[in-house]
Copies of this chain bind each other. A is one copy, B any other.
Amino acid sequence: MRSFLELVEDCDSFPYSYPNAAAYRDIVSPLYHLKVASYDHTLGYVPKFVAEAFESFSAWNLNHDAQTLTLISGSNENERSAVVAQTCQELRNQDKFTVLRGWRNELYPVYGPGGVLLFNIERAASALLGVVSYGIHMTAYIRSSSGLLLWVPRRALSKQTYGGMLDNTVAGGISTGEEPFETLIREAQEEASLPEALVRQKAKACGTITYFHIRDERAGGETGLLQPEVQYVYDLELEEGVQPSPSDNEVETFHLWDLAKVQHALHDGQFKPNCALVLLDFLIRHGILDAKNEKDYIQIIARIHRRLEFPTI
């Protein structure tokens, strides 16, 4: 049985400078800083073996002394995006990285200071550069006489990543140019057959969770890639009788579980790691977990709202 804080540590696995500054330095100091010419901010951390793959491209400058990987070609978003697309496509053609075999033909935005869009990048390549990615997660629930019941889907065994694990009712990545709420509407329809009108009327924004993940074998592809993420969190209270159901092949089935069953599955490690954090946030906001029954209450809340050390939108 894993404690809820252990679930958080499993997902928010990038270290903090406190309390172990030495361990933090050991992880951080070998990493390369992703930059864009004429901007000072670090946009992501890149492991050395990834940074070196960019060395042969003239659009990029790799500086081993400063440990920077800088995009030096392109003077606006369009030009930068075109150069980044060329590089990623070439790396894919060379089959340089396993993660690029999961090519999605979907663009993710990379923001600079002040929320300026610096460039877009193929979703599958974003983890290579360690840039912040954005998604939406929604928990659908009903109020019954015996307490809250949550709609919990199980991921299809055939899914590339985390196959067979439990998930949030609706979840998905936010592509370039898409508003979080519109991503939610689209994914609610695609993944859970929840009608647009219903979601538009009843889904409630409840904040964000943020964490910094170091990818391991469970995510597929190279390990050690850096993945800082922002998830916009929504609640959807449903009437009894309204039932989400799979409409694509990403979800196998939906269960309607009481809180005891959900918490047991959490402790049992059955949820996809970032979905566990969304549920912990839900349990905290709804007063199910509190200072009395959860010894790591303060730590958990701070960890799932991590301030990322990169610009965000």
Distance between A287 CB and nearest chain B CB, rounded to angstroms: 4
Interchain CB contact under 8 A, B232 and A291: yes
Interface residues on chain A, number (Cβ under 8 Å): 42
Closest to A134 in B: B298
Distance between A185 CB and nearest chain B CB, rounded to angstroms: 13
Mask for A72-90, Cβ within 8 A of B = 1, else 0? 0000000000000000000
List, in ascending order, chain B residues with CB within 8 A of A157's CB.
none
A208 CA to B300 CA, complexed, in Å: 10
Interchain CB contact under 8 A, A308 and B313: no
Distance between A140 CB and nearest chain B CB, rounded to angstroms: 15
Cβ of A312 under 8 Å from chain B: yes
List, in ascending order, chain B residues with CB within 8 A of A295's CB.
115
List, in ascending order, chain B residues with CB within 8 A of A2's CB.
none
**Given the interface contacts A179-B292, A291-B181, does A298 sit within 8 Å of B17 by beta carbon?**
no
**Segment among A143-151, A199-207, A216-224 that sits at the interface with chain B:** A199-207
Interchain CB contact under 8 A, A312 and B292: no
Interchain CB contact under 8 A, A301 and B208: yes
**Given the interface contacts A207-B284, A290-B205, does A298 sit within 8 Å of B230 by beta carbon?**
yes
Would you give 30 A-B contacts (Cβ < 8 Å), ordered by A?
A: A16-B307, A17-B17, A17-B309, A19-B41, A19-B113, A19-B309, A19-B311, A115-B295, A180-B291, A180-B292, A181-B290, A204-B286, A205-B284, A205-B287, A205-B289, A205-B291, A206-B284, A207-B284, A207-B301, A208-B297, A208-B298, A208-B301, A210-B302, A230-B298, A298-B312, A299-B312, A302-B306, A302-B307, A303-B307, A307-B307
Interface residues, chain A, with chain B CB atoms under 8 Å away: 16-19, 41, 113, 115, 179-181, 204-208, 210, 230, 232, 284-287, 289-292, 295, 297-299, 301-309, 311-313
